[in-house]
Amino acid sequence: MNLYNHALATALSFGLAFTAAAQSPAPTAGAAPAGQQDPTARNPAPVHPELKGVFQDFGSEPGLTALMDEFMAVMLEDPRMRPFFENTDQPRIKRQLVEQFCAILGGGCAYSGRDMKSSHAGLGIDRADFNALVEDLQVAMDRKGVPFRSQNKLLAILAPMHREVITR
């Protein structure tokens, strides 16, 4: 698999980790309440202290906050993603993404959101939705000047989450 395909596949895995949070703040029927985790789900924010340098490449916590502001703006401009995000608690979504990325990148943050399995249950997310979100994430990271190599290191950790995100 070449670097571009690896980056895309990895980004796909992350992509809808965000989309679940973008839906109504209320959990879907049978889903775990906010902050609770399904014991069969993967950890949505595994800490990787060895990525502290990557955390710095993202601009630490302030850089992640700016990235999420940009990411939300890009998604709201995208007609494929706008329906997932326009009527949501956008500040909460952005905060939880900052927490998730910060925790993963060894920045010392704690993730307060639900696991990906609970978050995405019943949302009917398909591969096309996932791909569109990944494209928007890549646009946002590029606009914020995140080095490609650092993007790939984060996305490689997020990759396995796609199994719990795509639900149709």
Which residues are known binding-site members?
120
Q: Is 9 helix (H, G, I), strand (E, B) or coil?
A: helix
Contact 165, 132 (CB under 8 A): no
Indicate the angle between helix axes 60-77 and 90-104, nearest 10 degrees.
Answer: 130
User: What DSSP designation does 31 have?
Assistant: P
Would you say how long the chain is, in residues?
168
Cβ-in-10-Å burial (0-12, 13-18, 19+) of 83 comes to: exposed
Which residues are known binding-site members for heme?
120
* Rounded Cα–Cα distance for residues 126 and 163 (Å): 11
CA 140 to chain CA mean position, Å: 12
